[in-house]
Amino acid sequence: MKKLSQTLLTAIEEELQHQVSRLNEEHTATYHEMLTYHMGWTGEGAGEKARGKRIRPLLLLLAASASGGDWEKALPAAAGIELIHNFSLFHDDIQDKSETRRGRPTAWKIWGIAQAINAGDGMFILANLAIGDLAKNYPADIILVGERIFQKTCLDLTRGQHLDIDYESRSDLSVGDYWTMIAGKTAALISTSMQLGALFGGANEETQNAYRDFGHYLGLAFQVQDDILGIWGDEALTGKSAASDLLEGKKSLPVLYGFEKNEEFAQRWKEGSIEEANVPKMAQLLEVEGARLKAQRQADQMTDLALKSLQMANPQDDAGDALFSLAEHLLGREA
């Protein structure tokens, strides 16, 4: 099982390098370098840590294999999904003014905003070209179906991103606004990774939908868990780490429960940004007011729905085992 995932991850990395090498041309060497740097292959600090986990393409290939298909044929789709994910990170870093990612300076810090916007655009186009490469392995009408799903998901991603940026300056947010945002920003791409894997693995529509639902709930559960750790994880509680969502004023799910409750936490939040020394007190207030428990219940419920959907999809063989084990790892993780 571990061995299968490792084989897939190696193949994913090779396919990604093949796809990005499209940009490797004499006149635009720096443009190419911006992408290989961001992907974690070149520049200072290049290596496994700089690359990220490649979770989405791994999920896609496992779904293809667990549906009885040949994962190698689906490799360009896996690369396309990972390139879209990285395209969104590329632009996200500019939008959030983030100066580091995975311990390294972000591309816009090195090459400037103008070039970074353009290189992010290029990453998106490479994703589209990767999806087009599926034409050598599948009939044209299946590819068009896959592309449709893919492009609609990209649109959902930008909807989620629009809301995320919008929420920063808003104080009238509700828990409902939260779900709308993370459905687009976090769950859509994971959900589509699973659906495309099943589609290119040859699953029927019902099974495709079960895989898609698994991805959707996995994405939501993962995000809520991340929100909880961002406040009550070991690092966050010290208040000394950038990981503290309270310090950053992030409107995560527990914070929105605090708004809803409208007691001491909400009162203090309105008084302005939270200082480092007050982070533990604010986290405690939020917990006393029940926000942590509510968020944990949501995470548990989404986890439950995710695993039920995966059982419904009935994934087969080694890839099936690997999917269950990956899901448990992602959903049960600790700080």
Residue 106's SS3 state is coil
**How far, CA to CA in Å, does 159 sit from each of 81, 123, 162, 290, 293?**
17, 19, 5, 30, 29
13 contact partners, CB below 8 Å, separation of at least 6 = 51, 54
The secondary element (H helix, E strand) that includes residue 266 is: helix 264-270
Among residue numbers 55 through 94, which ones bind a copy of itself (CB under 8 A)?
A: 91, 94
Q: Using the rule CB under 8 A, give the single segment among 108-116, 187-195, 280-288, 308-316 that binds a copy of itself.
A: 108-116
Q: How many CB atoms lie within 10 A of CB 271?
A: 7
Q: Is 126 in the site for a copy of itself (CB under 8 A)?
A: yes
Return d(Cα 95, Cα 161) in angstroms, integer: 10
Nearer to a copy of itself, 119 or 189 (CB): 119
Q: Using the rule CB under 8 A, give the single segment among 2-10, 26-34, 50-58, 281-289 that binds a copy of itself.
A: 26-34
Q: Is 143 in the site for a copy of itself (CB under 8 A)?
A: yes
In whole angstroms, the minimum distance from the beta carbon of 200 to a copy of itself comes to 15
Does residue 131 contact residue 147 with C-beta atoms inside 8 Å?
Answer: yes
Nearer to a copy of itself, 128 or 209 (CB): 128
Contact pattern from residue 174 through residue 193 relative to a copy of itself, giving x for each residue in contact according to CB under 8 A and a dash for the rest: ------x-------------
Q: Is 14 in the site for a copy of itself (CB under 8 A)?
A: no
Member of 22, 73, 261, 268 binding a copy of itself (CB under 8 A): 22
Return d(Cα 207, Cα 174) in angstroms, integer: 34
Q: Is 206 in the site for a copy of itself (CB under 8 A)?
A: no
Q: Is 212 in the site for a copy of itself (CB under 8 A)?
A: no
And the tokens for 270?
Answer: 């309105």
The secondary element (H helix, E strand) that includes residue 101 is: strand 100-101
- First-residue to last-residue Cα distance in the chain: 25
Member of 24, 42, 161, 278 binding a copy of itself (CB under 8 A): 161
Return d(Cα 28, Cα 38) in angstroms, integer: 16
Member of 135, 242, 288, 335 binding a copy of itself (CB under 8 A): 135
Strand partners, 100: 105
Q: What residues line the site for a copy of itself (CB under 8 A)?
A: 22-23, 25, 27-28, 30-31, 91, 94-96, 113-115, 117-122, 124-126, 128-129, 132, 135, 139-141, 143-144, 147-148, 151-152, 154-155, 158-159, 161-163, 165-166, 180
